[in-house]
Amino acid sequence: MFAYLTNGKRILIIAGHYGSGKTEFAVNLAVYAAQNASFGHARTAVVDLDVVNPYFRSRERGDMLAGLGVKVYGSVYGGSVTAEIPEISPEVRAPLEDTGAFVIIDAGGNEPGARVLRQFAKYFTAQDSSLLLVVNASRPETRTVAGAIAQMRAVESELEIRAEGLINNTHLLRETTAADVLRGYRLCRAIEGETGVPLVCSCYPASHVRREELSSIEGPLMPLDLYMRDSWLDK
């Protein structure tokens, strides 16, 4: 299950453009992993390396994930939302060095976010790790093939790693429709045609889009819960 995402790798780097929904995807994936025996590994860990943008960080859901047996690593300040000094805890190396852990890295956006990861480059071997790019066709900078490819190449250049898969996470938060997801699907297929980087998954908010509305999509579909969007933000 979810072999299309892991491709046999134990470290998944989730990167992409600001606002693409990387963190929402990373948290949902951690939940799925916890519910599915860590995809064959002994345990699941999330490494929150998004210290560039102070909004929607996976460590904010640390307590919820801990209840599922998933430990979140990242800031020296843990899950505190009031302390935003961009200092990474040395503990983040523990899951990267733990061969029994399935590790999800929630990277920051664009090149600055990818740059933070470079200090951990020795762990990102072709055997152990995979870079997945989250694409949201609703974002201005990634709504075209050229724009999305430019963002992908910039992240790849910073990390000196080639992307192995695209995640279609086209959304408009709680206003997302099936048409939005389908628009992102077409964009990602076009990117795949230009670059050879395959679309490995299309995501949709299960609370707002029905799976049967996406029947024309070929390939895996992943329903997402909106863990990161607090309801008061929509009032």
Tell me, what's the pLDDT at 43?
Answer: 96
* Rounded Cα distance, 139 and 173, in Å: 12
Which of 54-58, 62-66, 100-104: highest mean pLDDT?
100-104
Q: 3-class SS at 188?
A: helix
Report which DSSP code applies to 184.
H
How confident is the model over 209-219, as a mean pLDDT? 97
Work out the percent of the chain whose per-residue pLDDT is above 90. Answer: 68
Q: Cβ–Cβ contacts within 10 Å for residue 234, how many?
A: 10
Q: Name which of 8-12, 115-119, 134-138, 203-207 the model is least confident about.
A: 115-119
pLDDT at residue 111, as a whole number: 81
Q: What average pLDDT does range 64-88 have in this prediction?
A: 71
pLDDT tens digit sequence for 139-188 = 999 999 999 999 999 999 998 999 999 999 999 988 999 999 999 999 99
Domain ranges of the chain: 3-227
CA dist 4 and 58 (Å) reads 23
Condensed to tens digits (0 to 9), the pLDDT of residues 28-59 reads 999 999 999 999 999 999 999 876 665 556 77
CB-based contacts of 194: which residues, under 8 Å, 6+ apart?
145, 149
**Predicted pLDDT at 90:** 83
Average pLDDT, the chain: 88
Residue 66: in which H helix or E strand, if any? helix 62-66
Per-residue pLDDT at 89: 80
Q: What percent of the chain has pLDDT over 70?
A: 88
**Topology adopted by domain 3-227:** Rossmann fold (3.40.50)
18, 53 in Cβ contact below 8 A?
Answer: yes
pLDDT (0 to 100) of residue 196 = 98
The answer to whether the CB of 160 falls within 8 A of the CB of 121 is yes
Number of continuous H segments (helices) and E segments (strands) in the chain? 7, 8
